Structures are given as C-alpha cells and as structure tokens.
Structure 1
C-alpha cells in the first residue's frame, strides 16, 4: 500500500479491512533490528505507554514485580505500591510483545524474550542488550520456553527441547548437550515449578473471581482468563490476566485487586489533557470493540470507557478530543459525542441534529462555540444551547467552503483557520465571512493536511512539505524553516516558541528555531512506531500519539543536543 492511499484512508476516513489473527498481539508487533539501548539518550528520555492488560508471565525482582505483556515489561514497585514506567522499544527492546521475563539475582540482570530476540538489562548501566534468535541458531519455527540461572551461567531451553548456555554477564549462547540434574537452576517459564492453585478471592467493582476455572468475570459476563500467577514471601499472590492486566491477591483478607495500568487500546489518534488527566483515543486496526482511556499517570488511576457498553457513546473510532470544563467532546467517525462528567451522561450528535457530516476530523473550542471539522465542511455548535430543546448546530460558510473535506482546524482570537482538500481557508468569526488564502507560492488547489497557529505564525503541511507565514504581514518563511519534502505524509503540526513539531508516517520532525535546522526522530531514537498521529506539548516534554501507543519524550534535556 503506498503512502498516498494510506494518508487518504486516515484523512478521508475510508477504513480498510485488515486481516489480523490476534489483535492484542499483532497490533503492537513493532520489531526492529536494534542491538540495544540508544546511548545518545538517558533512560527515561523516551517512555512509551501502550496496551499492557494482556499478561503472559511474572517475575519477582529485588524491588519490582515484572509482568511480561503484549505492550512491554510493566514494573510494579512493591515497596511504594506504585507503577514505574514500562520497559519497551523506547528503552532499547526490539519488540514490545514480551513472552518471558526473568530476574537473575546473582548479577541483578533482568532478562526477557520476545518474538525475535532474547534481551537483558544490565543492572549498573541500565542499558538493554539484544541477541536475535538467528544469531544463536534458533530456527524460525522455534522459540524460547524457559530461562534458567545457575553455576554462573544462563540457560535457555527452546520449545523443541534444545538447550543453550551463556555466561551470566552476556548473551553469547551456544547449544549444549545437557544431561545433568537441573535442580541447581532457578527456572522461569515452562520449566519453573508450578505454583499451587490460586485460592478463592473476593473482588469489588462487579468482578467475580472463579478459582475453579481460573478466570475473572465482569458485569457483562465476559471471561478474562488468568494466564499466570506467583506468590511472594509476604504471601501476596500476583496474577496476570488476558484482558484485565495485573492483579494482587491478599491471602489474609482474601481480597483480589486489579492494578490497572496502560492504555485500553494501542492506537492514539487524539490527545487532550484536563488538569492531570489525559484523554486518549484512536481508530484501531482491528474489529474488536475498543474504548478510550482517561488516565492520571501520577496517581496510577486509568479509567476506561468502552463505547458499546455505554448508552449514548455510539462509536469508539475517535479522531479528536476537546476538553471544555466539565464536558469532554469526542470527534468520531460516526458523529460528535459529548460526555457530561458531572452527570455521567453520554450523548452523540449526528446529521440528524444538523451536523454537516458524521465523519469528524478535528475539534476546536472557544468560549462560545465548538468548531467541528468534518469530511464535508465545518459545523459550528453553540455551547449555550447544549442540553436545551433548541440545540444549535450550523454549517458555516456553505457557499465558500461547500462540502470540502476538512483535515485540520485551529483558532486564533476571532479567526478560524481551516485546512481543506483545496487549500487554506480563513474564516472571520465576528463577521461570519471567509475566503481561501493563496499566493503565488502556494496554489489554492493543494490539500492542507495539518496546520498550527503560534502567535502571528501559521504553519501548515501539504503533500510537498511544511511551510509557514505571518498571518498579519503575509511574509513567507524561507528555507530552512520552509521544508520541502514530498515524502513526509504529514498528520499533525504543533508550533511553539522553541520548535515546530510535525507528526508524520515516517516519525516526528522537529524544526529547531535557534539552530535553524530540522531533526527527524524515529523508532531508532525512541518512538515505538514511526506512524505518529497526535502531538501534545507539555513544557520540557512532548507526547506523541502513535500507531503503537503513547510516547513521552524529554525533548529539552540539558544533557543532550539533538
């Protein structure tokens, strides 16, 4: 599939049916041939949060309980009872889809296996090192089922029964013929001694634990299998589930609590923030029911909203989010959804309510109006009429805009700027009048896929690259600020005082204003996917919504020059 068709699918909302065997795994199957952590960055400069509620394996460490998930290795600090950030592709792993995790207490190294490699985290340097299966002679139809530690060595056993060994400070594995007693080896995975059966636990929030079948039921009678469990020396029972994440059982009180962490689903097309809570949603590449995430990362308290379980929330295919006081607006592929948090009421507005088109691309909110970019023009919702019998949604500038495809919108004082399929449109809100903006440099017929206002500057992206100008004087920005590149596949732009950020399907581009140059960040730097759909700037950090999760980047680190 070429990039023009891919861009058209996401921008014009023509969803393509994709054959996926198991969405919980394949949706995050980002595999890179990386030998380990990128030493240009410090650990923590790049952090990715993705879907980690599908757990395969558990290991106890000296400070953390580690969970091997389809979205990396999650780490729960059992002293502070808090989650730390997970280990993912952003930190040096070649793959987020983790099968085994193991702790070597002799060296302090943390080991794991993924679809393509065995990796270890060096305890002192906090660097990951990866060895790929083909480098140790493991065939493509085989994988690692067990990891063991003993006698100063690391042992791995494949599913076909082949043994390999290495010293415990590297991953220089060679096949061995092991015929000795392995009682002195501490095993993880298939060869680990089976834990006792899980005792009965009581749960809250409508969950029901069935210890006879080893699954958890929710209020919708959905079964979530328990995939792994492990008891620690304090008599805590740590469990992993397939769909509900990690949990901890207290044998004294017989209570089992779920330890929620991560996103409900993996693709992030929209980011909004309300105080300390992020609102995250997207268009997923699978046909399973999905939802949106509302997460305060400081308090480890994610909340999940599944559309098909909520009356008034018609679809989970979210393209944009705007937070306005106690109201959260969601632009979707099937209308405009409003969530009244005070009353806990969901409501979806469509063409029946005079919306010009149900396929929404972007939202912008001011004191009086909610502006709605759609596949057939721009609608204006009068906020004061919401919740009344006289709800007002109007199609603005019908004759000038017509039913043009709208890709992006942004507000500046009394103006609304619109990126359309045939160029930039400038709308005067007070005068209720607008016109297409063009010059000899930028023909009006060129689609504008993304735009961003900063002060008097307008930056925008077309199929020829990134350009900008001063909206007061009309002065165009010359190269290097003007970036000509017809392979960018631009999704979003965010301009700020220090830099201009461009989200594309080939990573993120940053224009450093002081240095006067463009820098490209990709998976090799710390992104978990090169398909970047959303941007949110927060002081020295910037958040990227990608096709494989939400990535946080410490862009303004004083220790590094990009």
Structure 2
C-alpha cells in the first residue's frame, strides 16, 4: 500500500527569488572543440580558440587542462582569435563583439578596447610541404589531411612555439602537434564528437556520452575520463555495424556497451570497441526505436517506442513482455530496485516483479503520475519519478509518497538526478533543484545565466559534488553544492 505525505509546502513549491549569477568554478562546459580558429602559445601552455570556446594544453605537464568555458564575462562562445604573452599573465580573446582580457585570479573576462602589448615570440606558419600524418591519413602539401574514408580536413592554423613543437588546428578534426623538424603529426583529441548530449553513462570511472546527430560531421561515442581530463572517440558511420544515427540511451556491463538508437539496440564489445550484435523489430523487439535499456543478471531489458522486450540466454532469444499492457506504449526508462523492474511508460509507472512476472501499475495517491512518466532515478531508500504532472518521491521501504508539483514553473520534466539533499529536474527551460530536505521546501532555477551551456537540457547525471548536464550545446559539469552560492 502506498501512502501520501502532503504538506502545504509541496502543494505549490516556492521558487527561490535568488538572482542568477556565474560563479567561479560553478560550471564548465565541454563541447565539440574540433573547429579551431586560431592558436597562441606561451612558455607553458597552448591556447586553442574554437567555435565553442577556448581550450588549453599544458606543455610542461603534457596534458589538457580544463577549458575556459566556465570563466565569467565572455559574450560569445565562438572565439575568433586568441593571444597570450610568454608567461601567461596576459590572455586576450577576440569575438564578434570585441576584445576581452582574462583575469586568472577571478576567473573572469573583462572587455578591452584594444589589444594590449604582449611579449611573445610564437610564430604562425603556413602548412609545410611535407608532414607525416598518423596511420590512416594522407597529407597533401596544401595542408589537407585525408582519412581512410576519404574525408578531407584542412589545417586552419599552425603555431611554431620556438621550443621544438608545432601546434596545429585541423578544421573539423580538432587539435594536433608535430615536431618542428620531424613534422610527425600527433593527434590530440579533446572534447565531444557532437554537441547534442542525450545519453550519459558513468561506468568504471569513465563518462560515455552521445546524442542526436543533427548537423555534426563526426558522430558516435565520446568517452571522457574526468580524473585525467582525457577523451577518446568511437566514431559511428564508418561501417555498416555502427551507423551514424541518434543515440537515445546507453547502458553497460563488464563486457558490453549497449547503445539504444532509432534503428535498434547495438551491442559494442568494450575491448575491441566494435559492434558485435544488434537487435531490432525483426529480432523481436517491440519497435526499432530503442529508448531505454537495463541489464539485470544475464537479461537485457529493452524499452522501445512500441513496448518492452527482454533478451535472454546464450542464444539471445527475444521475448515481448506483457504485450496486452505495453503494445504501442513508449517505454521511457527502466530501473532495477531490489527484485523488481520499475518501468516508466507513456501510460504511467509500473513495477514488474522479476521472480513471478507479476505486473503492477503504480498509481500515486495524489495522481501526479497520471500520464507520461519520463524518468526514474534511485537514491538509497527512495525512487523518484518525473512525469507530466511533476515529480514524485517514493520511499521504497515504507511505501510513502511525496509529490512535488511543478505547474508554477510551467515545465515538463525530462530527466532527474537525485541525492540525499536535492532532486535536479531537467527541462527545456533550464534545470530546477527541489530542496526536498529543507523545511520550507523550495525550488531554484538554473539557466545559462548561471553558466549552463543551454537551457535546453536533455539528460542529467549525479556525480558526487557535481551534476553532469547534457544539453543541445554540450556537456556542463555543474557544482551543485557550491558553498559560494546563496540558495
């Protein structure tokens, strides 16, 4: 039996009237940094001005540092040029709106009317006649790189740092370096393959990131190690097994990455990074469009735009689950809780008891979950639901429910990220925090004014002190419990 706990505070959640502000360290965004406009080199760093912000490489430590996308004050993410002096104490960026100078102490940009005097002896050069590209590429003397798939990329800028290294910007492919005498090109992948982030998965310390193809030239999976600030890419569209299609969801076990797409479920071997199996409607799934995946033991539960299926056994047999209930229903999300599978569907929320196969529709007493339920998130003793009507917290030990109506915010929740203090809600109008442990229970809105890459948010992932926020303009790491912020 489910009981409802309703107080005057949750009937209409109050929205905190706190002025939005970009704070130091609060938000940093990673995006498609492969379009490099200009390069500048100091004694210790290299700065790449890209169409999505400034990224920087530490030459002395041979590693990437966090991008300057979280700094306060830049009016345009498309950085046209960048200049730096020898010891990094002056950094200037040019955008369509003018020049700005960076203050590292405050992590802030200030507009300037003219380019200040800079002491630097780096030198921009034309592409050399002969360079030695990585395996799989051919180099032409006009600065053109051609890969094994006959895709052509042009070197947009080269800087000789006068210390033995050429720093290279390849339009559409990203950053690279080469010896100033050997001319041996070493690619330096950094950032996302595509800007739209619909799917986020953290597994074994790595973030797996993907989303809608839209107009991206290169697509697939971006894999990010947040500890080392390092990326590698698994491109789609290079063979028939991994087509260049939207990625709706990601799941993993010890050996496989499961990729839900509009063309079916793709199973990628984690060691070889190749798709070894695939499932579609022809295999027995309810629909080709795979929206959600959950692995439990040796079973793979697959939610589609047309119902719920399960793949089991060494022979990968596919069985449709409860066609009478889920036929032509969208299965948005799946979550294992104890010995049950919880299901978020276009017809509501359900619990499937796995040992018995008994299916029960969950109807909260306050009828918040009356229509589409879009997301499920587990946190210790609670299961959270995001639906058209708002958000519901279910205590899975006592059965008590707590509703949070978001009608005043006029949003439809898309995704959730929860912990023992807040529930973060994604929407097309930004991100909302529900401070449900606070006695006065209130919400707080966060938008681009607080450092998010976009207000159009598709996915969320709670990760300790941070929330990873997937938007149509990249992936933002947001410091949710920033002590310098007043909530």
TM-score range, shorter chain: 0.7 to 0.9
> Structure 1 residues 197 and 271 mapped into 2: Cα distance closer, same or farther (>3 Å)?
closer
Does the CA contact (< 8 Å) of 1:46 and 1:551 recur in 2? Answer: yes
> 1:204: which partner in 2?
134
The 8 Å contact of residues 88 and 95 in structure 1, kept in 2 or not, is answered as: no
Residue 48 of structure 1 is matched in structure 2 by 29
Matches within 5 A, 1:82-101: 82-88=63-69, 91-101=72-82
Out of 110, 114, 120, the position equivalent to 2:91 is: 110
Aligned positions of 1:2-81 closer than 5 A? 41-42=23-24, 44-81=25-62
The structure 2 residue matched to 1:149, chosen from 105, 108, 116, is 116
2:470 matched to 1:470? no
Contact kept in structure 2, 1:89 and 1:528, CA below 8 Å: no
Q: How much has 1:561 moved relative to structure 2? A: 4.2
Residue aligning to 2:344:
419
Q: Distance in 2 between matches of 1:286 and 1:257?
A: 27
Provide, for residues 521-549 of structure 1, a one-character-per-residue CA deviation record: whole Å limited to 9, x for no partner: 11111111111111222212221111111
Deviation at 1:486, TM superposition (A): 6.0
Paired residues for 1:169-180 under 5 Å: none
Following superposition, the deviation at residue 376 of structure 1 comes to 0.9
Alignment partners' CA distance in 2, 1:542 and 1:433: 35
The whole-number CA distance in structure 2 between the counterparts of 1:331 and 1:92 is: 38
The CA deviation string for residues 194-248 of structure 1, in whole angstroms up to 9 with x for no partner, is 63552522132322222x2111121112211001111112131111111221111
1:415 Cα deviation after fit: 1.5
Change in Cα spacing, 1:288 to 1:259, as seen in structure 2 (3 Å) is closer
Aligned to 1:454: 379
Deviation at 1:482, TM superposition (A): 4.7
Paired residue secondary structure (2:324):
helix
CA contact (8 A) 1:70 1:96 kept: yes
How far residue 551 of structure 1 moved from its aligned partner, in angstroms, is 0.9
1:529 paired to 2:458:
no
**Relative to structure 1, is the Cα distance of residues 50 and 194 closer, same or farther in structure 2, using a 3 angstrom cutoff?**
closer
Give deviations 1:397-431, integer Å, cap 9, x for gaps: 11122321222222211212222222212221111
The DSSP-based 3-state class of the residue aligned with 2:48 is: strand
Q: What SS does structure 1 have at the residue aligned with 2:401?
A: coil
| Residue equivalent to 2:257 | 328
| Secondary structure in 2 matching 1:489 | coil
- Residue 501 of structure 1 is aligned with which of 419, 424, 427? 424
Q: Report if the CA contact (8 A) 1:404-1:421 is conserved.
A: yes
Query: Where does residue 4 of structure 2 map in the other structure?
Result: none
Gaps of 5+ in 1: 1-37, 137-146, 151-184
**Does the CA-based 8 Å contact 1:397-1:432 persist in structure 2?**
no
The question of whether the paired residues in 2 share the 8 Å contact of 1:400 and 1:434 is answered with no
After the TM superposition, which residues 321-470 of structure 1 pair with which residues of structure 2 at under 5 Å, given as runs?
321-346=250-275, 347-382=277-312, 384-385=313-314, 390-442=315-367, 445-470=370-395
Equivalent pairs counted in the alignment come to 465
1:245 equivalent in alignment to 2:174:
yes
Contact 1:148–1:186 (Cα < 8 Å) also in 2:
no
Are 2:436 and 2:442, in contact at CA under 8 Å, matched by a contact in 1? yes
Q: What's the TM-score, normalizing by structure 1? A: 0.77
| Contact 1:94-1:117 at 8 Å conserved across structures | no
The residue number in structure 2 matching 1:550 is 475
**Cα distance in 2 for residues equivalent to 1:402 and 1:123:** 57
CA deviations 1:179-202 (Å, max 9, x no partner) are xxxxxx8899xxx98635525221
Q: Is the 8 A contact 2:131 2:185 kept in 1?
A: yes
**What is the DSSP-based 3-state SS (H/G/I as helix, E as strand, rest coil) of the residue aligned with 1:490?**
coil
TM-score with structure 2 length normalisation? 0.88
1:277 aligned to which of 206, 211, 217: 206
Aligned equivalent of 2:10: none
2:237 and 2:298 mapped to 1: Cα distance?
Answer: 31
Q: CA shift at 1:301, angstroms?
A: 4.3
CA distance, structure 1, for counterparts of residue 361 and residue 188 of structure 2: 52
Between 1 and 2, higher relative CO (CA 8 Å, sep ≥ 6) is seen in: 2
Residues 53 and 244 in structure 1, CA contact (< 8 A), matched pair in contact too: yes
Counterpart contact for 1:148–1:187, Cα < 8 Å: no
- With over 3 angstroms needed to count, the CA separation of the structure-2 counterparts of 1:324 and 1:90, relative to structure 1, is farther
Match of 2:155 among 216, 226, 230: 226
Unaligned segments of structure 2, at least 5 residues: 1-19
Q: How far, CA to CA, are the matches of 1:503 and 1:488 in structure 2?
A: 9
Distance 1:546 1:552 in 2: 11
How far off its partner does 1:295 sit? Answer: 2.5
In 2, are the aligned partners of 1:315 and 1:333 still within 8 Å (CA)? Answer: no
Whole-angstrom distance in 1 between the partners of 2:195 and 2:388: 27
CA deviation map 1:431-486 (0-9, x unaligned): 112132224521764221222233442322222322333345442315xx554446
